[in-house]
Amino acid sequence: MDVRALVFDVFGTVVDWRSGVAREVRRLLGERADAAAFADAWRDRYAPSMDRVRSGQLPWTPLDALHRASLDELLSELGADDVDESTRAELVMAWHRLDPWPDAVPGLDRLRQRHVLAPLSNGNVALIVDMAKRAGLPWDLVLGAELVEHYKPDAEVYDAAPRLLALPPGQVLMVAAHVSDLAAARARGLRTAYLHRPDEFGGRVDPPATDPDADLSVSSLVELADRLGT
């Protein structure tokens, strides 16, 4: 594979959203919520909220605003309508403060020596930048949904990566822990690497160990660096 750039799904693939969101929910809501269940319920609203944008039901809306709308619904269902504005705003920032999986920074630090690295996430640019500065993720640039005002798996998001990098799609490798993301990337001509993250959903979902349709399947970003010879 002659791969020049690697683009990454972020939530679940590079960072552990579940424990990070639960940590902030615990800090900000205390006994009022089961933190892990709250994180799961919030995440369950993620795809449906983006689908409202993808279908045209909503105009382009950055992920922070979708997270906020889902949060307001969740708090209402919990009977917690009294949670104040500043607490809600801080809760939305939980998604900016997610910790990387332990192999992420060591793997990316190796991969960046010979490749261009960029997130290709549905997270808005400010979220991805805040997360990277806090966690030390060594991105060369930020790509993703907000730049083209489309959410994955819309083709526009994948197409923008080789276009902006001035590379043929076959020299761009999409790395993700979700086979549907990889299938959509492959349909646009990108190469694909599946990353097995068995703990992403805290046991609620059991992702496959490998993706037979991907060019590579690995279980860490350090293993990906090994496989790419960097």
Chain residues in the site for a second copy (CB under 8 A)? 62, 64, 116, 124-126, 128-129, 132-133, 139-142, 146-147, 164-167
Closest distance between a second copy and the C-beta of residue 138, in Å?
A: 9
> At 11, is the secondary structure helix, strand, or coil?
strand
Instruction: Scan for tokens 């526009």, then name that residue.
Output: 156
Closest distance between a second copy and the C-beta of residue 141, in Å?
A: 4
Residue among 100 and 207 whose Cβ is closer to a second copy: 100
52 is written with which tokens?
């409202």
Closest distance between a second copy and the C-beta of residue 143, in Å?
A: 9
Nearest residue to 128 via CA among 191, 179, 62? 62
Residue among 125 and 155 whose Cβ is closer to a second copy: 125
Residue among 5 and 224 whose Cβ is closer to a second copy: 5
65 is written with which tokens?
């605003």
Closest distance between a second copy and the C-beta of residue 25, in Å?
A: 22
> What H or E segment, with its residue span, contains residue 226?
helix 221-227
Nearest residue to 146 via CA among 63, 68, 89? 63
Residue 199 CA to residue 106 CA, distance in Å, equals 19
Residue among 142 and 176 whose Cβ is closer to a second copy: 142
